[in-house]
Amino acid sequence: MANHKSSLKRIRSNETKRLRNKYQHKTTRNAIKKLREMDNKKEAVALFPTVVSMLDKLAKNNVIHANKASNLKSSLAKHVAAL
């Protein structure tokens, strides 16, 4: 176990960040799944910008890689356009 105050604080802050990242990533995955299951184009077009925003935020914070976010956005855009 760490002895320095800064080490103890780093452990606490890392855990907080891990839980926040986990929550945001899971929420985004659920939104992607929901968007892929949609059949109504109007609803899908309304949800698409929200999902794109979520992916951009994850990429900005290095929760997911920027290229993965781009690939997901591209495939979702194709899906929405095909409806």
Checking if the pLDDT of 3 tops 90, the result is no
State both tokens at 20.
């926040």
Q: How many domains would you assign to the chain?
A: 1
Checking if the pLDDT of 2 tops 90, the result is no
Identify the domain containing residue 63 by its residue range. 5-82
pLDDT digits (tens, 9 = 90+) for 14-63: 999 999 999 999 999 999 999 999 999 999 999 999 999 999 999 999 99
User: Using the 8-state DSSP alphabet, how is residue 75 labeled?
Assistant: H
At 44 the pLDDT is: 95
CATH, residue 51: 1.20.58.110
Q: Work out the end-to-end distance of the chain between its first and last CA atoms, rounded to an integer number of angstroms.
A: 55
Checking if the pLDDT of 1 tops 80, the result is no
At 75 the pLDDT is: 96
